[in-house]
Amino acid sequence: MASTRGDKIFPFFWYTNQAEEAARFYASIFPDSRVDRVSSLPVDSPSGPAGSVKVVDFILFGKRFQAMSAGPLDPFNHAISMVVVCEDQAEIDRYWSGLLQGGKEEQCGWLKDRYGVSWQIVPRMLDEIFADSDVAGRKRMGEAMLKMVKLDIAKLKAAYEGR
């Protein structure tokens, strides 16, 4: 589906039949988010008759996304995931709880939402620590992270600092 907004690159999701529902769900969780447009494909396609394929343009955190309901194709998997960078534990908790509704928890800050899309809910401090020269601290933090499901900033920092 072609962009009409001038964006050079943006994520596109293919859903069996839940694109609009998923876009509205995501927009309800994140600030500066909304569904902009739902359009029906006006011609017959391999996915169904005219009007049955829906294309949804939506915004998450002010960034463009697009989704389509066009019947079964390939299921979502871990090869592509959405990463949400959080400033504090309250943000981690809020986005984790929101996206987990009807979904499934996974290790190391990952979850799979009710539509099968993989998300990583991570603190910004991970980037800073992984760039730090303290190899032993990074190792301790990495080992602590591997034991977590939802990430806990205080425990990650304590592990990094050797406490």
10-residue averages of pLDDT along the chain (163 residues)? 69 95 98 96 80 91 96 92 98 98 97 98 93 93 97 97 92
Between CA 34 and CA 27 the distance in angstroms is 5
| CATH number of 105's domain | 3.10.180.10
In a domain, 103, yes or no: yes
Domain count, the chain: 2
Q: What is the pTM of this model?
A: 0.90
Q: Report pLDDT for 1.
A: 45
| CATH number of 39's domain | 3.30.720.100
In a domain, 99, yes or no: yes
Between CA 68 and CA 55 the distance in angstroms is 4
In a domain, 3, yes or no: no
Q: Report pLDDT for 4.
A: 53
> Distance from CA of residue 130 to its chain's centroid?
21
In a domain, 6, yes or no: no
Q: Report pLDDT for 5.
A: 61
Instruction: Give the residue among 126, 114, 56 at the shortest CA–CA distance from 84.
Output: 126
Q: Which domain holds residue 53?
A: 12-69
